[in-house]
């Protein structure tokens, strides 16, 4: 019996991998709660620290969390687009670099960005105009939203004649654990300026996540991709046109989600439940609006208002 127990005992490596899986699959805004339970179950600080040091950076970047900078000059998005060496992240709007403690999810220090870390004056004009327009849109559409615009290719381009690429990152969260629900919206827009073709290609990836855990566990994880093109224009005109595209596609996607969940009570709910529950009481199909996920998601994320 003792030999069987020894064989069934998980190795430290397997324990770390399992811990990482739980941490990485935490719902939006809930990794710290999951980490507390994982640490308690492992009951080994070394194993927990190993798992956390690997899981938290990936989680923070994939969920596009935002942190207040140490000098309180604004927020920095923890994104792979702005990632530098040594847990440093570029905040292009203020030309600063924030040093991040991933596990504690705080910004520990701030320094000015170097010239090598910033785009050329030519590309920066496009980036700045894009940032201004996207910021106005995000402030209107997402009450708790943050955004940033990065140059991800061709940052050394000095003038017309070469291609370059920007990335627009939008992140909005609404955490309400006291009400047993959390939600997030994120979108990433890759904008490729093709001078040789005199066009700008816009590719977007949108994701909505929500978690309801009052007397149950209901999660939403929806994704959508799209693309569009416009003519290559001056920086100001490009920024306005691209932001209009972003606004259109995000509004259209949310409307499609809303339409899908409005029909939820007439289709999915009926398929999931018994025709006559064990309580012998019929489900109130005539009053299913009280189970509206769309309304709750809209309220928590502040979207669609």
Q: How far apart are CA 188 and CA 165, in angstroms?
A: 13
* pLDDT score of 67: 95
Taken in order of first residue, the domains within the chain and their CATH numbers are 1-62 (3.30.1140.60), 63-117 (3.30.1140.60), 119-246 (3.90.1150.210)
Q: Is it the case that residue 86 has pLDDT exceeding 80?
A: yes
Nearest of 164, 135, 156 to residue 77 by alpha carbon: 135
227-286, pLDDT tens digit by residue?
999 999 999 999 999 999 999 999 999 898 888 777 766 665 566 555 555 565 665 555
Looking at per-residue pLDDT, the higher value among 279 and 161 belongs to 161
Task: With beta carbons less than 8 A apart as the criterion, state whether 291 and 265 touch.
Answer: yes
Task: Please write down the HEC assignment for all residues of the chain.
Answer: CHHHHHHHCCCHHHHHHHHHHHHHCCCCCCHHHHHHHHHHHHCCHHHHHHHHHHHHHHHHHHCCCEEECCCCCCEEECCHHHECCCCEEEECCCCEEEEEECCCCEEEEEEECCHHHCCCHHHHHHHHHHHHHHHHHHHHHCCCEEEEEEEEECCCCCCCCCCEEEEEEEEEEEEEHHHCEEEEEEEEEEEEEECCCCEEEEEEEEEEEEEECCCCCEEEEEEEEEEEEEECCCHHHHHHHHHHHHHHHHHHHHHHHHHHHHCHHHCHHHHHCCCCCCCCCCCCHHHHHHHCHHHHHHHHHCCCC
Contact by Cβ (8 Å): 93, 131: yes
Task: Name residue 229's beta-bridge partners.
Answer: 201
- Closest by CA position to 175, among listed 20, 24, 27, 76: 27
Give the pLDDT band (50/70/90) at residue 143: confident
In the structure, what pLDDT confidence band is assigned to residue 38 with cuts at 50, 70 and 90? Answer: very high
pLDDT computed for residue 289 by the predictor: 52
Q: Which residue has the tokens 């980490």?
A: 35
Residue 1 has pLDDT above 50, yes or no: no
CB distance 261 to 188 below 8 Å: no
Average pLDDT over residues 126-133: 97
């Amino acid at each position: 019996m003792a030999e069987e127990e020894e064989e069934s005992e998980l190795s430290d490596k397997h324990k770390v991998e399992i811990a990482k899986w739980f941490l990485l699959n935490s719902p939006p805004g809930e990794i710290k709660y999951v980490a507390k339970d994982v640490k308690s179950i492992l009951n080994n600080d070394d194993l927990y620290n190993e798992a956390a040091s690997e899981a938290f950076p990936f989680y923070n970047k994939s969920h596009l969390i935002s942190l207040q900078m140490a000098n309180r000059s604004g927020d920095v998005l923890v994104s792979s687009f702005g990632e530098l060496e040594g847990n440093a992240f570029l905040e292009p709007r203020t030309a600063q670099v924030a040093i991040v403690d991933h596990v504690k999810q705080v910004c520990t220090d701030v320094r000015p960005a170097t010239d090598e870390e910033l785009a050329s004056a030519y590309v920066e004009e496009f980036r700045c105009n894009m940032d201004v327009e996207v910021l106005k849109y995000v402030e209107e559409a997402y009450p708790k939203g943050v955004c940033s615009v990065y140059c991800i290719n061709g940052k050394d381009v000095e003038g017309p004649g070469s291609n370059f690429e920007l990335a627009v990152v939008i992140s909005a969260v609404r955490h309400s654990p006291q009400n047993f629900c959390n939600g997030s919206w994120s979108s990433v827009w890759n904008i490729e300026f093709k001078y040789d073709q005199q066009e700008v290609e816009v590719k977007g990836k949108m994701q909505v996540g929500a978690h309801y855990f009052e007397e149950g566990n209901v999660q939403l994880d929806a994704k959508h991709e799209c693309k569009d093109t416009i003519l290559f224009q001056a920086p100001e005109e490009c920024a306005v046109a691209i932001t209009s595209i972003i606004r259109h596609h995000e509004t259209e996607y949310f409307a499609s989600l809303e339409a899908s969940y409005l029909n939820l009570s007439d289709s999915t709910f009926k398929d999931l439940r018994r025709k006559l529950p064990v309580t012998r009481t019929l489900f109130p199909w005539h009053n299913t609006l009280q189970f509206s996920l769309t309304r709750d998601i809209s309220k928590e994320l502040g979207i669609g208002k």
